């Protein structure tokens, strides 16, 4: 059993050991159970931080956090950085998603039920709107986690968020060409897998398949790499923001 301070795998030896255990857990189901059992203190700690209160093994949040930890084992790759940092992101997302589902359910079932003798005051009258401080804190924390994870992935390609902003197409015609290339990548996911494996944008294949000029893809390589990472790795909050600030495409793009 690890102790509760083993929530950081920033030491090389510890990092190597847990990566080995994660790989073994994908082959042997009993290894999954052992890994989860050893990291129960970490799972409870992350569930407590995400929930804003102390979580015990009897709470629903703990069960959800364990599911998140198991999903992190299944979806982890070394390109995502340290495993426990990645697991923390997955657990937080899982708990936030569950909180939102429960909130919607409460609203659908009882939001219009009268709660006062006059029959006029309803549950809806007592619920703070969606922008209350708690939800804002949740969204802010989840956004920070997504940005941290994306920053780690971009660093594997030698890129930063500033590079992406500077490399964004400025002209509508160029932007549309980049979108055509991204649409082609969305239909041919092996190109994304190749990019993640080699840490290089498959420019030749994308140019040939999409009909977009190679020089455009080369000029906006950083922008294209970032979009392909964002739309193939979850990042629901970042994707939602992009949908608001980018004009709709003629077709679906990596969604």
pLDDT in tens, the chain (255 residues): 444 444 444 444 556 788 888 888 878 778 888 899 899 999 999 999 888 888 888 888 999 999 999 989 888 887 777 888 889 989 988 888 877 776 654 444 444 555 444 555 554 454 444 334 445 566 677 777 788 888 888 888 898 888 888 888 888 899 999 999 999 998 898 999 999 999 999 999 999 999 999 999 999 999 999 989 888 877 777 777 666 545 444 444 443
Number of domains the chain is built from = 2
Q: Is 214 part of any domain?
A: yes
Residues 7 and 91 placed together within one structural domain of the fold: yes
Task: Put residue 77 in one of left, alpha, beta given phi > 0 → left and psi -120 to 50 → alpha.
Answer: beta
**Whole-angstrom distance, CA of residue 243 vs CA of residue 93:** 20
Of 70, 87, 102, which residue is a domain's last? Answer: 102
> What domain range includes position 6?
1-102
pTM: 0.47
Q: 83, 102, 121: which is the final residue of a domain?
A: 102
Burial class (CB in 10 A: 0-12, 13-18, 19+), 241: middle
Domain edge (last residue) among 84, 102, 120: 102
- CATH code of residue 95: 1.10.1740
Q: Domain for residue 81, yes or no?
A: yes
Together in a domain, 237 and 170: yes
Compute CA distances 1 → 4, 37, 155, 162, whole Å. 9, 7, 33, 42
Same domain, 5 and 87: yes
């Amino acid at each position: 059993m690890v102790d509760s301070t083993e929530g950081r795998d920033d030491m090389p030896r510890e990092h190597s050991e847990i990566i080995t255990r994660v790989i073994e857990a994908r082959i042997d189901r009993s290894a999954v159970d052992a890994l989860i059992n050893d990291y129960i203190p970490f799972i409870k700690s992350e569930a407590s931080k995400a929930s804003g209160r102390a979580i015990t093994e009897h709470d629903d949040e703990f069960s959800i956090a364990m599911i998140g930890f198991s999903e992190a084992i299944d979806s982890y790759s070394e390109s995502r950085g340290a495993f426990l940092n990645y697991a923390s992101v997955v657990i937080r997302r899982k708990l936030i998603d569950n909180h939102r589902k429960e909130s919607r359910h409460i609203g659908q079932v009882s939001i219009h039920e009268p709660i006062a003798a006059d029959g006029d005051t309803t549950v809806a009258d007592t619920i703070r709107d969606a922008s209350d401080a708690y939800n804002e804190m949740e969204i802010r924390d989840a956004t920070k986690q997504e940005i941290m994870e994306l920053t780690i992935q971009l660093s594997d390609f030698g890129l930063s968020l500033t590079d992406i902003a500077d490399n964004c197409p400025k002209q509508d015609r160029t932007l549309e060409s980049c979108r055509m290339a991204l649409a082609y990548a969305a239909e041919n996911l092996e190109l994304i897998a190749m990019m993640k494996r080699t840490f290089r944008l498959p420019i030749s294949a994308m140019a040939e398949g999409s009909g977009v000029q190679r020089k455009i893809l080369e000029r906006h390589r950083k922008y294209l790499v970032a979009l392909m990472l964002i739309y193939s790795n979850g990042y629901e909050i970042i994707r939602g923001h992009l949908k608001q600030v980018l004009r709709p495409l003629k077709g679906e793009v990596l969604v």
